[in-house]
Structure 1
Amino acid sequence: MKKLFIPFLLLFVLILSACGNDEKSNTKNSSENEKETFTYQSENGSVQVPKNPKRIIALTNGPNVLALKGNLVGIDEWSSTNPLFKEKLKGVTVVSEDDLEKIIELDPDLIIAGSQMKNINKLNEIAPTVVYTWGKLDYLTQQEEIGKLLNKEKEAKEWVNDFKKRAKSAGEAIRAKIGEDATISVIENGTKEFYVFGNNYARGTEILYQAMELNMPQKVKDTALKSGIHTISTELLPEFAGDYIILSTTPDGDNSFLETGTWKNIPAVQNNHVFEINTKASTYSDPITLEYLLKFFEDSFLKN
């Protein structure tokens, strides 16, 4: 009986040992995978970035990261106050490029910054830092680039292709309803002036003019298409108003212009062709914002 028991005991010990080695090996492989890096071609040169970043600070393009479910630990102030992102950013620290000590405390493994920002070299000493210039890439290519950076290029491209199809289809339906020649203006009120937008300045302009191929008034085309934005006075509003107006306003701002004769006498206003968007929720061109605005435009143009 003892002779049979001893070999069995040895076999049991060997099995336990093998299992322990496998577990250690798996833990080691998992740890090594987390530390894997690849070379990303940033505007500031080649940067070795983690394949699976776990602690991302986005001083810019945070909403793009959020759309791909990147794990943000730091975000810029403007994104943090956006009503579309507020719930999703609970627990994420608000930082700027000047908050170097706070950034160090957050222990990031990837930082995304704007090319115009200060302290890029210092940020790069804290963690691999990738920079983007606002507007250098079109709104869809920007999302694909963030996908490459986060090792989620496939997901980013799938969303881009799907969004383009849906926006194009919506544009066709809208043109069929309002007419092929109907014009759309995107106007925003400031403190003492107004802004009209071209086809690439957020507020849904990329969707309306690029994806949906809707028309902007000639006056807007002449002044805002190249620069992206053009400033006008209250008196000039009728000259820049299209058959339809997308009006970007801040709910807690001064909107007394809505009661002026200049505004009320604009044909689009008299025809109830004004659709109001929240400025704070419309100043980005990331997937979350684009999905929100696409639905808003479909509802506004097609269900009214």
Structure 2
Amino acid sequence: MMRGKNILAAGLCAALLFGASGCGQPDIRGEKSEKAQETVKKLRRFDPAVLRADTPASIDAEFAARLAEKRKAAEKLYREEDGKRILKHKFGETVLPDAPLRIVCIRLEDPMLALDAPMVAAYDFPAYYLHEELAARGIMRISINDENKTINLEQVQAAKPDLIVMRDSFGKGVYDDLSKIAPVAAFDLRDYERTLLALSLVLDRPADGEARLRQFYDTAKRDRIRIKGHIGDATVALLRIMNKEVRLYPYATNDINRFMYELLNLRPPQMVIDIDGNEQNNAISLELLPELQTDYLLISAGFGPSSRQSSAIAKKRFAAMRLDPLWQSVPAVRAGHMLEVDSMIWNAHGIISRERAMDALAEDMERQ
């Protein structure tokens, strides 16, 4: 039997394109460093071994506590002092202008649109999941070079901003260059709930921020009840097909899929729990896939809006994988419980992207 599995694994490795990694990699379920274990402990909001209730009342209580926590976290970033409004962020502190009218937005389009905030210029491209909304507003486009993480400063300057809001995933040099044009408010978009509330404080619209976050939680509640009403406590995992590797995302230590388990209360399979805090960037050896005992398997083949890598290559790899007997021996695949999700949406960060991911997942689960 073991010999047969090895032959199947060799076949799948040979089938993958461009010499992709994944075969013969270290087992990501292995021992974790003390630092990794501390990170796991810090990020686990819930004990994965304990089943949580999905009644409307229990969800309301859970989300009320979450809102209070996010509000407190956002308020730590913003203060008013000696008549000045100040935002604390990754690069330092920024004194904010009062009532800014010309805002340039760089990779923070999701929360800005969620708040219906005005922008004179923003990052955009035709395949962007927010392209239609941005195009409808006639917003000037800001170009970004994703290879070297630089921004077209001439375009920013031409927009004549009195405030620039940006995601803090760029380097300090980019922040410094932008600060020569206008005050820059930087945010960690991976924590999209805190960012939404902090951004609303910067825009002097805190009530709008809280109202929009409550609306987001209403969406999560509705989709959670829909999904759990259909699959109950079945286990769900997310597998990502990339150009050169395959990643299995963990329970708590990755911001791409954490909402599945926290907001939607989906139950993780044991392997997903075991890889929390792994130090192999979540890259899974393909030989382990048949051991992934999950009831439902979500597949994201491609990349998000902050990457210019070709999703077409990832999709081609996935098409090759699906023909291989090893892939067909994965339990969820065998059971017909494999769902492909939109990689652009799932690899984005923001209130709108998460709403779209949850809505689509609820619809897909109900069609199963």
Would you say same fold, with TM above 0.5? yes
Q: Structure 1 residue 86 and structure 2 residue 131: aligned?
A: yes
Q: Which residue of structure 1 aligns with residue 194 of structure 2? A: 141
Q: Which residue of structure 1 aligns with residue 87 of structure 2? A: 41
Q: Structure 1 residue 289 and structure 2 residue 336: aligned?
A: no
Q: Structure 1 residue 216 and structure 2 residue 268: aligned?
A: yes
Distance of aligned partners of 1:169 and 1:98 in 2 relative to their CA distance in 1, 3 Å threshold: closer
Cα distance in 1, alignment partners of residues 274 and 84 from structure 2: 45
Q: How many pairs does the alignment contain?
A: 262
Q: In the TM superposition, what is the alpha-carbon distance from 1:234 to its structure 2 partner?
A: 2.7
Q: Which residue of structure 1 aligns with residue 335 of structure 2? A: 271
Deviations 1:217-243 (A, max 9, x none): 222222245779511133322334521
Amino acid corresponding to residue 357 of structure 2 in structure 1:
L
Q: Which residue of structure 2 aligns with residue 55 of structure 1? A: 102
Amino acid corresponding to residue 106 of structure 2 in structure 1:
L
Aligned residue among 176, 179, 182 for 1:127: 182
Identity of aligned residues (%): 23
Q: In the TM superposition, what is the alpha-carbon distance from 1:184 to its structure 2 partner?
A: 0.8
Q: Which residue of structure 1 aligns with residue 74 of structure 2? A: none
Q: In the TM superposition, what is the alpha-carbon distance from 1:119 to its structure 2 partner?
A: 3.2
Cα distance in 2, alignment partners of residues 215 and 108 from structure 1: 46
Instruction: Please tell me whether Structure 1 or Structure 2 has the larger radius of gyration of its CA atoms.
Output: 1
Q: Which residue of structure 2 aligns with residue 26 of structure 1? A: none
Cα distance in 1, alignment partners of residues 273 and 365 from structure 2: 22
Amino acid corresponding to residue 252 of structure 1 in structure 2:
A
Q: TM-score, normalised by structure 1?
A: 0.75
Equivalent pair of 1:196/1:229 in contact (CA under 8 Å): no
Cα distance in 1, alignment partners of residues 258 and 125 from structure 2: 23
Cα distance in 2, alignment partners of residues 51 and 183 from structure 1: 49
Aligned residue among 209, 212, 229 for 1:159: 212
Deviations 1:241-269 (A, max 9, x none): 52111111236232221221122221211
Matches within 5 A, 1:156-235: 156-180=209-233, 182-198=234-250, 199=252, 201=254, 203=256, 205-224=257-276, 230-235=282-287
Distance of aligned partners of 1:233 and 1:58 in 2 relative to their CA distance in 1, 3 Å threshold: farther
Cα distance in 2, alignment partners of residues 200 and 53 from structure 1: 36
Deviations 1:12-58 (A, max 9, x none): xxxxxxxxxxxxxxxxxxxxxxxxx9513221444232343333222
Cα distance in 2, alignment partners of residues 110 and 66 from structure 1: 16
Equivalent pair of 1:185/1:246 in contact (CA under 8 Å): yes
Distance of aligned partners of 1:227 and 1:299 in 2 relative to their CA distance in 1, 3 Å threshold: farther
Q: In the TM superposition, what is the alpha-carbon distance from 1:104 to its structure 2 partner?
A: 1.3
Deviations 1:86-122 (A, max 9, x none): 1122243123444223321221121123164223223
Matches within 5 A, 1:230-269: 230-240=282-292, 242-250=294-302, 252-253=312-313, 254=316, 255=318, 256-269=320-333
Q: Any gaps of 5 or more consecutive residues in structure 2?
A: 1-82, 145-149, 303-310
SS of the residue corresponding to residue 111 of structure 1 reads strand
Amino acid corresponding to residue 69 of structure 1 in structure 2:
D
SS of the residue corresponding to residue 294 of structure 1 reads helix
Q: Any gaps of 5 or more consecutive residues in structure 1?
A: 1-36
Equivalent pair of 1:184/1:244 in contact (CA under 8 Å): yes
Structure 1 stretches of 4+ moved >6 Å = none
Aligned residue among 114, 121, 124 for 1:67: 114
Q: In the TM superposition, what is the alpha-carbon distance from 1:289 to its structure 2 partner?
A: 1.0
Equivalent pair of 1:197/1:228 in contact (CA under 8 Å): no
